[in-house]
A and B are shown apart, each in its own frame.
Chain A
């Protein structure tokens, strides 16, 4: 084996391609939502336990922290859903080439960010 192969350990010049970013965002958002299920099912149970429980959740959702967590969960959902739809299209055999894969990854991420901003506007 050739000993003097080029080695690049300069991390500032190494970048994830867009498809890799989409992939890791899909995974992170999935795990985030999985963990958030604990809060969601708790809020669901309390909100349907009676008018007092509903008022408790309604009151909780006026606080910045709760809104921020809710916004984070919905942002994760948006990323996961949009990038997931891209995955379904790829299952059909489209967007598998370098160019189309890169373009669809960039568009999915941009759409997810826009959706996240919209959700933020709606929440606040």
Chain B
């Protein structure tokens, strides 16, 4: 019987690894962005769009958005399963966050496509 239909991975162990792997990706990206803002006192449009025009930055950003999708999905699942006991309400809130995360991922993709 399927007892964990709202998880991201195939099982709890899978979610456990995905959560940590995605956390490391997000951490590295956050450190890079912090370094960028600290080392670039005057961020102009040219600098900003130039950064994201780089193919490596596009890949890194899509990787981090994928990591955010996975990490956010599993994270909100962990919080919801602890605090929201009504299954219907929990499923609805999970749906809102999951669809929202996919929408964020797609927005990032199309924005980067045009830079």
Contacts and interface: CB of A to CB of B under 8 A. Distances in A.
Interface residues of B, number: 24
Main secondary structure of the interface of A (DSSP, over half): helix
A45 B72 contact: no
Chain A interface extent, by class: 20 to 34
Contacts, number: 52
A7 to B, nearest CB: 25
B23 A84 contact: yes
Given A37-B104, A38-B100, A54-B48, A44 B75 contact: no
B61 to A, nearest CB: 9
A91 B16 CA distance: 10
Contacts of A81: 27, 30
Interface in A17-58: 27, 30-31, 34, 37-38, 41, 44-45, 47-51, 54-55
A74 to B, nearest CB: 9
